[in-house]
């Protein structure tokens, strides 16, 4: 008992749950690459379905919806302005996961 440090606790140096830190990593395979993630712009998707053109369409829809909301001329345009803005916003969120 004289060889041990009296202030050291039992299990000192072990990782979470008593597992050594070097054994705590690398147990699972890395996640599969997602479609549209970095490094996947190898031409599998059509050019018009890539992030750039589709984000532009979504941005135009959002702007069109805001213009429809603020115009004072046609009640039908005002009626559908929220739907157009909402579709553009949801489209932008979805398209932001597409490959570049």
Mark out the alpha helices in 1-100 (DSSP H runs).
Answer: 51-70, 75-95
Q: CA 67 → CA 27, 29, 70, 83, distances in Å?
A: 54, 49, 5, 13
Per residue in 48-81, pLDDT (tens digit) is: 788 888 999 999 999 999 999 999 999 999 999 9
- Number of folded domains that form the chain: 1
For the chain, how far is it from start to end, CA to CA, in angstroms? 64
Highest mean pLDDT among 5-9, 11-15, 35-39, 93-97: 93-97
| 17 lies in some domain | no
**Domain range enclosing 57:** 35-95
Per residue in 17-57, pLDDT (tens digit) is: 666 555 545 556 566 666 555 555 556 778 878 888 899 99
| 100 lies in some domain | no
**Which residue did the predictor score with more confidence, 95 or 21?**
95
| 89 lies in some domain | yes
What tokens does 86 get?
């909402």
């Amino acid at each position: 008992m004289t060889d041990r440090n009296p202030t050291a606790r039992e299990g000192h140096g072990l990782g979470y749950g008593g597992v050594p830190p070097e054994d705590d990593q690398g147990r699972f395979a890395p996640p599969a690459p997602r479609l549209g993630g970095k490094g996947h712009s190898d031409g599998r998707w059509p050019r018009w379905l890539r992030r750039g053109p589709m984000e532009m369409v979504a941005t135009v829809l959002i702007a069109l919806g805001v213009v429809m909301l603020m115009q004072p001329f046609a009640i039908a345009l005002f009626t559908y302005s929220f739907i157009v803005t909402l579709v553009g916003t949801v489209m932008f969120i979805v398209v932001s996961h597409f490959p570049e």
